[in-house]
Amino acid sequence: MILVSLIGLLFIGGVAAWISERFDPRYPRVVALVAMLLAMVLVLALLNGVTVGNQPLASINASWMPRFGISFFLAADGLSGLLLLLTVFLGIVAIGSAWDEITER
């Protein structure tokens, strides 16, 4: 469930950053940074899980359209967890490096 939460958090953070520009041009960078920091917390919580052998850190398998035999499956093992950590870290670095560079849209 943590993988779905991570995807949902980043999606909602992106939409909130997009909408927040209407209130103040400085808000989107703050909203994006907060969303990425919360994503970092979720990824660190994911990596904190202990696995034995070839077990995934997290997985979800939900029936989406059972009539057609279509299901929704997400899984993260140790390597993909580290890649998620790298992605979130680089997202934070990108937001931080563009903090004063982007002044108009």
pLDDT for res 103:
65
pLDDT for res 11:
97
Structure token digits, residue 69: 């035999």
pLDDT for res 52:
63
| Amino acid (one-letter) located at 24 | D
- Point out which residues pair with 69 in neighbouring strands: none
pLDDT for res 51:
62
Contact 38, 30 (CB under 8 A): no
Q: Global pTM?
A: 0.83
Q: What is the mean pLDDT of each run of 10 residues along the chain (105 residues)?
A: 91 95 89 96 85 74 88 87 93 90 67
Longest dimension (CA), the chain: 52
Q: Within 13 Å and on the Cβ side, how many CA atoms surround 3? A: 16
